[in-house]
Amino acid sequence: MLLSLVPAVRAHAEREISREFSDWMVSIRAASRHLGQVAIGRSAAARQRQEELRSKHRPLEECITLDDDGVGDLDDFAAAAATADVADGAAAASFDLTPLYRAMHIHHTLALGERFKKYYLENRKLQLTSDFDVIAATPFLESHQVFFSQIAGFFIVEDRVFRTGGGLTSRPDVDALWDSAVAKMVSVMEDNFSRMQTANHLLLITDYAALLSATMRRYGYPVGMLLDVLARHRDKYHDLLLADCRRQVVEALAADKFDQMLMRKEYEYSMNVLAFGIQSSDITPAFPYVAPFSCTVPDICRIVRSFIEDSVSFMAHGGGGDTYAAVKKYLGRILSEVVDASIQKLVDSGGGLSVSQAMQVAANMSVMERACEFFTGHAAQLCGVPLRAVERGRRDFPLRKSRDAAEALLLRLLRSKVDEFMGQSDGVTWMADDPPAGGNEYANEVIIYLETLTSTAQQILPLPVLRRVLVAVLAHISERIVGLFLNDSVKRFNASAVTGIDTDLKMFEAFGESMSSLFVDSDQESAANEMKAALVEARQLVNLLMSNSPENFLNPVIREKSYNKLDYKKVAAISEKFRDSSESYFSTFGTRGARQNPKKKSLDTLIKRLREAS
């Protein structure tokens, strides 16, 4: 009787355990997503703890050395990782495998163990394939967390089944499932990354994929192929990030009126100056405070700082390789390709900038030199590199092209302004009976303008820049004074006109000497000599015209000593005009027996010899 019931009991047991197992398969799939989310969340928390520990120990790294065995207080990093492992173990224990164990035991009892193993593996393959489809209906940006969490939870379960299932699954079976999952994830990421045009979107997905990789690595799954995908797209990510930063920098430059920035409160000073290490003094100024830079400088600093932080985030969590070396490379790119190029484009176009605005741009560049030091140190700090190592490897100023272009623009505008005043030289009386008292009008106008300009410039321009600008402007004035004598509109001039130009030149020389007092800290005597040398061509020409023996110009020794900046052709052209300018000095229609003027004779000799030489 009992034997006759065995087949029915067996069939009933199979039905019941199959139903219970099917219910478990449904429930474990639903639980896998939550399990994956919890595990990835704990990986994120572990990463955050490690970053906090790194921040805590970073000051110590600057002043202490590790023990001989290579360990020290930094062992806390290992403790953080161990804590994360314990947390992941707790996560794995939070799902129930009892129905699976019961089904496996009953199938073994019924001598159906191998069939159950095959059935289990086939159903799990179908579930994994179905899990791949969670991204089909929604954009990957919106569904990537669900996609990765589902896969993570699936393989956390499989790891637990492999370790505790008594041979239900084998390592090759699990590896085959993992390989198919990795191939799918690689394919999906490659496809979506290739079509993404927003850096933040790529960073979001990369960050979560990196957390997935960190989670699965703890369970012994190889994640090299996943990390390779992230590393292959780091250039694209940074290209997108650079494009976004370029747009922001251009907008910041376009919005700037290039006036000195006013800060009314201490928090503004902290946010715009101290935050980027661009203060010129450690002493907090009185408020309201007028900064020597415009609002572009802190705006660009914020853009670059954000770029560094995004770059470090990408490289540290999914970029592969030496994080600091890569971040430093991309930092160089944003400074040269974005900041330097954008400022240079603004400067080269002119953009309708006035002299004061061009001066502000040049002043901004000197502040950006200090900011670049902050950028390098900030990148090193985020990457855990000691600052002393950064200081040893510091490179040249990366914005030198735009800095030089800004100075060149300022000089062009100043020369143009000087030319406007020099254009008033039409008021110079070239055949005056007496020299003008106090110099010519154009010279007085130029002096007033330069003194006004310098009083503003010394407040915002670094002294080396101001020195270069003043020397270049004085050199231009010297060229223009020589050009006055060469002008085609000047047919002839006399000694009174030369005396008037000499007075003008003395005014410019006195201005240069007074300006040299600004450079007490950087060799005042050298600055004075440099200012004086800038006017040397005009000075030598006026000295020659006022000389009683102009033919000395032909003496190689005297010429090298006193007239070495003068050009033969210019001297010949100017001397011709001076020769014909005064009937009393140079007329050939004087009384026949009159004694020839020695200066006229010397000048005639000079002109004759110069004509022969040409």
pLDDT computed for residue 79 by the predictor = 46
| C-beta neighbour count of 12 within 10 angstroms | 11
Closest CA to 572 of 524, 536, 610, 527: 610
Residue 7 has pLDDT above 80, yes or no: no
18 confidence band (pLDDT: 50, 70, 90): confident
Of residues 379 and 56, which shows the higher confidence score?
A: 379
Closest CA to 152 of 211, 89, 83: 211
Cβ-count burial 458-477 (b if 16+ within 10 Å, e if not): eebbbeebbbbbbbbbbbbb
> Each residue of 238-267: pLDDT tens digit?
999 999 999 999 999 999 899 999 999 999
CA distances from 429 to 441, 445, 498, 585 (A): 11, 17, 10, 18
The residues, any chain, with a CB within 8 Å of residue 418's CB and separated by 6 or more, are: 446, 449, 473, 476, 477, 480
Distance CA 532, CA 513 (A): 7
Mean pLDDT of 550-557: 84
> Each residue of 491-510: pLDDT tens digit?
888 888 888 989 999 999 99
Of 123-127, 347-351, 539-543, the poorest mean pLDDT is in 347-351
pLDDT computed for residue 612 by the predictor = 67
Three-state DSSP at 580 gives: coil
What is the 3-state secondary structure of 509-572? HHHHHHHHHHHHHHCHHHHHHHHHHHCHHHHHHHHHHHCCCHHHHHCHHHHHHHCCCCCHHHHH
End-to-end Cα spacing for the chain: 140
| CB-based contact 508:447 (threshold 8 Å) | yes
Percentage of the residues of the chain whose pLDDT score is greater than 70 = 83
Of residues 72 and 61, which shows the higher confidence score?
A: 61
Residue 88 has pLDDT above 70, yes or no: no
| CB-based contact 343:362 (threshold 8 Å) | no
> Each residue of 170-209: pLDDT tens digit?
899 899 999 999 999 999 999 888 888 888 888 888 888 9
* Domain assignments of the chain as residue spans, ordered by start: 2-230, 235-403, 428-613
pLDDT computed for residue 528 by the predictor = 79
Distance CA 87, CA 39 (A): 8
Q: Which CATH architecture does the domain made up of 235-403 adopt? A: Orthogonal Bundle (1.10)
Mean pLDDT of 415-420: 89
pLDDT computed for residue 584 by the predictor = 43
294 confidence band (pLDDT: 50, 70, 90): very high
Residue 307 has pLDDT above 90, yes or no: yes
Residue 222 has pLDDT above 50, yes or no: yes
Of 57-61, 98-102, 303-307, 562-566, the poorest mean pLDDT is in 57-61
Interhelix angle 234-255/296-314, rounded to 10 degrees, is: 170
Q: CB burial class (10 A; 0-12, 13-18, 19+) of residue 254?
A: exposed
- Structure tokens that stand for 62 in this block: 């600057």
pLDDT computed for residue 119 by the predictor = 85
> Each residue of 554-594: pLDDT tens digit?
888 888 888 888 888 888 888 888 854 444 444 444 444 44
- Structure tokens that stand for 206 in this block: 């990369």
Of 241-255, 352-366, 600-614, the poorest mean pLDDT is in 600-614
426 confidence band (pLDDT: 50, 70, 90): low
Mean pLDDT of 517-526: 69
Mean pLDDT of 535-551: 88
pTM, two decimal places: 0.78
Q: CB burial class (10 A; 0-12, 13-18, 19+) of residue 98?
A: exposed
Closest CA to 522 of 458, 467, 455: 467
| CB-based contact 397:403 (threshold 8 Å) | yes
Closest CA to 148 of 118, 97, 115, 188: 188
Of 85-89, 164-168, 188-192, 253-257, the poorest mean pLDDT is in 85-89
pLDDT computed for residue 339 by the predictor = 94
Gyration radius (Cα) of the chain, Å: 41
